[in-house]
Amino acid sequence: MDGLEGGDVFVIVVGGGRVGFYLTKELLAEGHELVLMEKDPRSAERLRDELGAVVVNRDGCEGTHLAEAGANRASIVAAVTGDDADNLVVCQMAKHHFDVPRTIARVNNPRNEILFRHLGVDEIISPTRMVLAAIEQDIPVHELLHLAQLEGGELELIEAQIADDSPAIGRRPADIELPEGCALFVLIRDDKAQSMRPDTVFQAGDKVIAVSRTECETDLHRQLIGAAHEIAGA
Amino acid sequence: MRTIIVGCGRVGAGLAGQLARDGHEVTVLDQTTEAFRRLAPDFPGQALRGDGTDESVLRRAGAAGADWFLALTNGDNRNILAAQLASETFGIQYVLCKINDPVRAQAYATLGVHTIDRTMMMIDSIGRFMGRPAMPGAADVRRAAVQPVAAPVPPPGHGELPAAGPPAEGAEPPGPGDGRTGGR
């Protein structure tokens, strides 16, 4: 909580789940002025027993409820419900309707992060992303996937996922220097398989099915996944 | 004309049938397959189970390259998220968002989202039935008068879309007499 020196900030927390509950508790302990909005009457009552009068049984997506809670003088609105759509609406209403300087959204689907930022949410908290990042440190994801062995183990059927940073993006099959004895075979895009054509241009998100001699795998990896991930993929 | 409809309720299913008959290539999304029972048995379009606020589901539904996107679930916020995914992430030009809370509808119309608000439509319809004067614009798709981008030109040749075409720039909203859409 850098930058919150206590006392003069007014925070509205929307969503009284676990995140909202502990967040409210911490902020109260630090001496901030705060309102916790929880739309479910039962949950709100339970929260009020624990946290006191800062809990209001109001829906943070409703303009009138936000106004009642004092959104027009809030410095921060934090939307931490378990529902991405609700969190987005809370932040957009706060930002565009009440000119709240700082909005924070919990985002559960990591794919919503870019959109939320683009739509003006100031800060994104993504529990999914945090856990994912922790896991990815241990498990390399930039790997070739071995699907099957062919010809008694001399050839392999391999799947390569074209990530955002793949050197193959924007290139055609002919632009890719493949080792001898290696063939790109099928392209999977938007969950549909298509055969590799000379005019195919690789995009992020594509999957490429290739047949490769076992010893050529490192070259294939470099071309499709990228040198940056070689250690992770080894 | 490729059209994606999120939410296979009465409106979504009914519209899907009509548009498909008009020749639209329609994909309807709903979170439950139960909902697809509302579609006619001979519905020629696609019905896809999935969350219309999930980017990967929308991609699978063919959102990249769709011409129309109609967010018609029962959840205002889900519609708002789906509609903004459609316009911002997939660049779909004609996006309509049903928002039944008039305050939210107004707020998002101001933000440049095409919104339709069943609450105001019904208040207007019932009021007119009882002899009250019509509420201008209540039955129409709304968007802020001051638009951040030039208003798109409605695609030609599909006259069966009452008030669904984005208004051409400078066009007057249809008169109160046209507002007969508020039936449901």
What are the residue ranges spanned by the domains of chain B? Answer: 2-99
A42-51, A219-228, B9-18, B46-55: which has the minimum mean pLDDT?
A219-228
Touching A: B residues 57-116, CB under 8 Å: 59-60, 62, 64, 75-78, 80-81, 84-85, 88-89, 101, 103-104, 107-108, 110-111
Are B23 and B1 a contacting pair, CB within 8 Å? Answer: yes
User: Is the CB of residue A7 less than 8 Å away from at least one CB of chain B?
Assistant: no
Q: In what order do the strands lie in the sheet with A207-213?
A: A144-150, A155-161, A207-213, A182-189, A192-195
Residues B76, B77, B82: CA angle, nearest 5 degrees: 100
At a CB cut-off of 8 Å and minimum separation 6, what does A201 contact?
A: A170, A171, A172
**In this complex, how many residue pairs, one in chain A and one in chain B, have their CB atoms less than 8 Å apart?**
61
Interchain CB distance below 8 Å, A84 and B80: no
Q: What local confidence, expressed as pLDDT, does residue A138 receive? A: 64
DSSP character for B88? I
Q: Number of helices and strands (H, E) in chain B?
A: 5, 6
**What would the mean pLDDT of B61-69 be, rounded to a whole number?**
96
Q: What local confidence, expressed as pLDDT, does residue A146 receive? A: 75
Hey, how many other C-beta atoms are within 10 angstroms of the C-beta on A19? 17
Q: What local confidence, expressed as pLDDT, does residue B152 receive? A: 46
Residues of A in contact with B88 (CB under 8 A): 115, 118-119
User: Is the CB of residue A77 less than 8 Å away from at least one CB of chain B?
Assistant: no
Residues of B in contact with A92 (CB under 8 A): 80, 107-108, 111
CA distance, residue B99 to nearest chain A CA (Å): 12
For chain A, the average pLDDT equals 86
Q: Report percent pLDDT > 90 for chain B.
A: 69
Residue A61 corresponds to which tokens in the numbers above?
Answer: 């997506």
* Confidence (pTM): 0.68
CA distance, residue B104 to nearest chain A CA (Å): 7
Q: Hey, what's the torsion of the CAs at B165, B170, B176, B182, to 10 degrees? A: 30
User: Is the CB of residue B147 less than 8 Å away from at least one CB of chain A?
Assistant: no
Q: Hey, what's the torsion of the CAs at A181, A187, A191, A193, to 10 degrees? A: -90
By Cβ distance, the residue of A85, A109, A115 closest to B88 is A115
**Domain B2-99, CATH:** 3.40.50.720
Residues of A in contact with B53 (CB under 8 A): 84-85
Interchain CB distance below 8 Å, A61 and B104: yes
Residues of B in contact with A118 (CB under 8 A): 88
Residue A109 corresponds to which tokens in the numbers above?
Answer: 């689907």
At a CB cut-off of 8 Å and minimum separation 6, what does A139 contact?
A: none
What band does A140 get if pLDDT is binned at 50, 70 and 90? low
Task: Give yes or no for residue B174 having a pLDDT over 60.
Answer: no
Give the SS3 label for residue A93.
helix
A93-97, A128-132, B151-155: which has the minimum mean pLDDT?
B151-155
Who has greater pLDDT, A8 or A95?
Answer: A95
